[in-house]
A and B are shown apart, each in its own frame.
Chain A
């Protein structure tokens, strides 16, 4: 008896379809969808204020979210085994494109992140790697016994750090950190031994100062300096962080009220609609608004973990966990940076910050999560 037959005969499960119509026909996950819609609506509300009451800005962001949502629905229709099948191919293409970008960057004697592809337009290969790297590592481990052996760990690390290094030298520190984290999460949930984890932490602590002095670009180094002591240059590099802390702190528990934030409306807060939009939220909606936002975020993260936990196949399991964790890292890095807890790295607040290709990538990853969840019972073993 095939697994399919076995499943079909299980009582109360209705065969290939799940009980929920939305999930069965459209392969969408209702709780995740609801939380994402709530988040997008809230994000647009804050953006309206951050953009100084510009409906134009809100409309463009809504279009982008709509495009992302469409992609999400499309991706949700694709069965997870296709992700698994295509993972190595997309990964390989991504690495080749990253090498091209670096080469062009050398040619232009400056930073290059974009690739112009005729017919498609501007394209940022680093963005696709946010999905391709964890998928690749998940694919790699799905073929092997877990917990991973040392050799497998080494190979996995190589698979992770090849694109990460290529992105870091573009230079795009924020994205490379996110991708490294996504890959490492796969390694972690796959069962990397605690001893190796401990070793990695020690190595990192030793390497961080060395990185600071020998690897980081000047502008990256100054960001770290600014993070460590923003008051040293209040009118220059420290300005952003001082102004965002001032915005948040002056918001208090209940905030100054929607559209009444002075820091952003009087232009004291730079990047108020993009990376620093949390400061606007903190100023206008206060701690209460922030806690609400975190609850919505945690609902999404929790749902992601649940999907991962429910997954019946190693690849889906690992990938779902990695995508979910990446989403949380976005949040942690952005909030940490805007509130002055972490150095300034260019990471947007997911689905709230204006613009960026990150929205499309994020929505695609939610499409993958939904696909994994709703195709569960149709897997063929």
Chain B
């Protein structure tokens, strides 16, 4: 038997149920209102806030770097170009696990230890946040494809197409063009805010040489575009675009043919060649050897390569033409001679007897001539042609250091020439004041005597010697050596006026004899020359030889040998080129440096058939607006 049946009270049950259902319905309505209220709060009162967030999500403003201006020689030969390059880059802020990501990339493309080392170095150095850091460039089509296919597994990794600076002639122009390399945080810190925004998308910055000096002009103006990206940062469409203004192309005064001739003529020797067109100051060749490979620096040079350059005793990174300070030796003699003539200390007829040395009246010290037994009776012309030291010891002593200093200053010695390159060395033109200030010792007669043959304290750069030669060749007309073809630079000083104008021609004639005369020290240059040239050789001591000593060249280490120098200009009637050549430890100016200068001049003055065909000077127009720093 079942338990006693209790009748279901259907009415009671129904009442409770209906009431509960009503409560449930109320609950549903109330909760629905909560939901609607919540949505209304988000969509009405918080609407603008979330609209901003949504736009920030999708819209990004990107800086578009301007393509860098090209650099050409005077004939339009390209010296610095931009080459498209595909690189794999990492935006560190978006990479969840750097090590895992690097390993994964390494499975897809080959990564050399150098790539990783350079990447880590960049990672550690100060940089802009969210700035992509390149890991490896020069990706092949296949590598690009592999990376693209695996992109979803590699957040923060992208393949970017960049324009990379490329120097097609490598070492040939390395010291004059310089190079660009990666823009870093320190570069940006040094800029004004306006400049910084102009570099917002730029990856490269001119570091040395022309690239540095004309950075502003070559860089151009940044462009912007507003893009819509998805959550993975992929650009889906461009909303607005303001294209960049490309950097201006830069035409240089350099001539490829002359530069190549100078570079090849120096060969593997350490040295420098600077060639200037004295008619307008155009620099035709600017070589310092050994050169370096500028393309190595563009994307960051590897430790190994850099160490190789740094440890090289030939110092390939050193710009000898611009910064090398060498005793000019006998190459100063024409200038000293002009100083003596102009001051009336000597004239073209006056002769002295050279016994092989020079001695001051009250001093036993003998200043030796390079020719042990002397040149005999010597006048100005013979002193220049045979490079008689004794004549110039005497002349210099009579002239005195003050007048010597002032006269030589007008030839741009002892001060920067004002070429459009940074960090030019001023050389050294000594004076009594300088010696007291720099050395704290008084000036001695011996100092003057040494200076009068370009030894002692006197130091000059090959660029200064070329500039001085150009001024002399154009009879005192001042020029500023200039590399940019459209730069019109005012001369730094008024032109040099001699008391007797004829002294210019006479001195040029004496220099012509150095080459074309039977006793000239640079006779070797004249061989088969279809034109006439003037020159002055020089030999500067690296190692000083004591009194009454002779030295055996072979026994000296190569690096202690004298430097060979030579200044020259041609054609003599209407000079269109002035060349200064320095060959470190080249011993004899005439025989070592002379042929180098000759090849440079031939490259400029002769046409393809080997006939004299003097190129017209560059027609220059001053550029409006931008000026270099």
Contacts and interface: CB of A to CB of B under 8 A. Distances in A.
Contacts of B36: 290-291, 294
B24 A321 contact: yes
With a 10 A CB-CB cut-off, give which of B29, B31, B32, B229 has the most chain A CB atoms: B32
B532 to A, nearest CB: 77
Contacts of A301: 28
A339 B44 CA distance: 14
Contact of B6 (A145, A267, A340): A145
Nearest to B56: A246
Q: Is the interface of B mostly helix, strand, loop or mixed?
A: helix
Interface string B32-48: 10111011101110110
A253 B13 contact: no
B21 A305 contact: yes
B310 interface: no
Contacts of B20: 188-191, 321
A38 interface: no
B58 A268 contact: yes
Given A188-B20, A191-B17, A262 B57 contact: yes
A294 B44 contact: no
A251 B28 contact: no
B53 A250 contact: yes
B35 A339 contact: yes
Contacts of B58: 262-263, 266, 268
Interface string A244-275: 01111111110000000011001110000000
A287 interface: yes
B24 A266 contact: no
Nearest to B33: A294
A250 B54 contact: yes
Interface residues of B, number: 41
A251 B24 contact: no
Interface string A288-299: 001100100110
B377 interface: no
Given A145-B6, A294-B32, A249 B43 contact: yes
B388 to A, nearest CB: 83
Contacts of B231: 266-268
Contacts of B17: 146, 189-191, 317
A335 interface: yes
A123 interface: no
Contact of B54 (A263, A290, A297): A263
A266 B39 contact: no
A270 to B, nearest CB: 9
Q: Is the interface of A mostly helix, strand, loop or mixed?
A: helix
A252 B43 contact: yes
Contacts of A253: 43-44, 47
A185 B25 CA distance: 12
A252 B47 contact: yes
A251 B39 CA distance: 10
B211 interface: no
A298 B53 contact: no
Interface string A324-343: 01001001100110011100
A321 B39 CA distance: 27
A212 interface: no
Contact of A268 (B8, B31, B57): B57
A189 B231 CA distance: 48
Contact of B228 (A245, A266, A287, A336): A266
Interface string A305-324: 10011000010010001000
Contacts of B32: 294, 297-298, 332
B50 A341 contact: no
With a 10 A CB-CB cut-off, give which of A266, A298, A301, A332 has the most chain B CB atoms: A266
Nearest to A236: B96
A88 interface: no
A185 B38 CA distance: 25
Nearest to A147: B16
A36 to B, nearest CB: 18
A336 B50 contact: no
B16 A249 contact: no
Contacts, number: 134
B607 to A, nearest CB: 65
Nearest to B232: A267
A282 interface: yes
A249 B8 contact: no
B49 interface: yes
A266 to B, nearest CB: 4
B230 A249 contact: no
Contacts of B359: none
A246 B54 contact: yes
B228 to A, nearest CB: 7
A249 B232 contact: no
Given A191-B20, A266-B231, A336 B43 contact: no
B18 interface: yes
B51 interface: yes
B112 interface: no
A305 B39 CA distance: 25
With a 10 A CB-CB cut-off, give which of B12, B35, B44 has the most chain A CB atoms: B35
With a 10 A CB-CB cut-off, give which of A188, A243, A250, A308 has the most chain B CB atoms: A250
Contact of A298 (B6, B28, B57): B28
B556 interface: no
B41 to A, nearest CB: 9
Nearest to B52: A250
A286 interface: yes
Contacts of B38: 335-336, 339-341
Given A246-B54, A268-B57, A282 B43 contact: yes
Contacts of A321: 20-21, 24
Contacts of A243: 57
Contacts of B47: 249-250, 252-253
A189 B24 contact: yes
Contacts of A282: 39, 42-43
A211 B320 CA distance: 80
Nearest to B46: A249
B616 interface: no
B35 A246 contact: no
B57 A332 contact: no
B50 A191 contact: no
Q: Which 4 pairs show the lowest CB-CB distances between chains A and B?
A: A249-B50, A250-B54, A266-B230, A267-B231
Given A282-B39, A290-B43, A305-B24, 8 more contacts: A248-B50, A249-B47, A249-B50, A252-B47, A267-B231, A268-B57, A268-B231, A305-B21
8 contacts: A248-B39, A249-B42, A253-B43, A263-B54, A266-B231, A267-B231, A294-B32, A305-B25
Interface of A: 145-147, 185, 188-191, 243, 245-253, 262-263, 266-268, 282, 286-287, 290-291, 294, 297-298, 301-302, 305, 308-309, 314, 317, 321, 325, 328, 331-332, 335-336, 339-341
Interface of B: 6, 8-9, 12-13, 16-18, 20-21, 24-25, 28-29, 31-32, 34-36, 38-40, 42-44, 46-47, 49-51, 53-55, 57-58, 228-232, 236
